[in-house]
Amino acid sequence: QVQLVESGGGLVQPGGSLKLSCDASGFLLDYHVIGWFRQAPGKEREGISCISGADDSTYYTNSVKGRFIISEDKVRHAVYLQMNNLNVEDTAVYHCAAVWASDAQEICETPGPHAHWGQGTQVTISS
């Protein structure tokens, strides 16, 4: 059974950093794209960064390029999102998702109905 569990969220000041973790089980990372998505109150869900288990290619949406780094540890069966220089616009619930696919950008833009989702972790940026 596919299971995704996010952790690492919290409250930080603008300019601070957080590292989110997505612990995955029940499937092989090599055949999946794992992505980080976020949803702020009153806004649509946004795919912000994805990584392909097939070739380790990555995708970042423009708003996080240069600030966020996605990585994957196939031994620990986990995907991480290092978030730096956070600002108030980054406040949201962050979810990870797994899709049986190989194109990171495609999944970030359209995860599709067969995506498996975690419960999410709250990230709040505030002074």
pLDDT in tens, the chain (127 residues): 899 999 999 999 999 999 999 999 988 888 999 999 999 999 999 999 999 999 999 999 999 999 999 999 999 999 999 999 999 999 999 999 999 999 999 999 999 999 999 999 999 999 9
Q: Which residue, among 17, 18, 22, has the nearest Cα to 6 in the 3D structure?
A: 22
Return the ∠ at Cα 105 (arms to 34 and 45), rounded to 5°: 70
Q: What pLDDT sits at residue 28?
A: 84
Other C-beta atoms lying within 10 Å of the C-beta of residue 93: 18
Q: Give all strands (DSSP E) within 53-120, no chain letters.
A: 58-60, 68-73, 78-83, 92-99, 116-117
Q: Which residue has the tokens 């990870």?
A: 96
Is 85 in a helix, a strand, or coil?
A: coil
Asked if residue 53 lies in contact with residue 81, where contact means CB atoms within 8 angstroms, the answer is: no
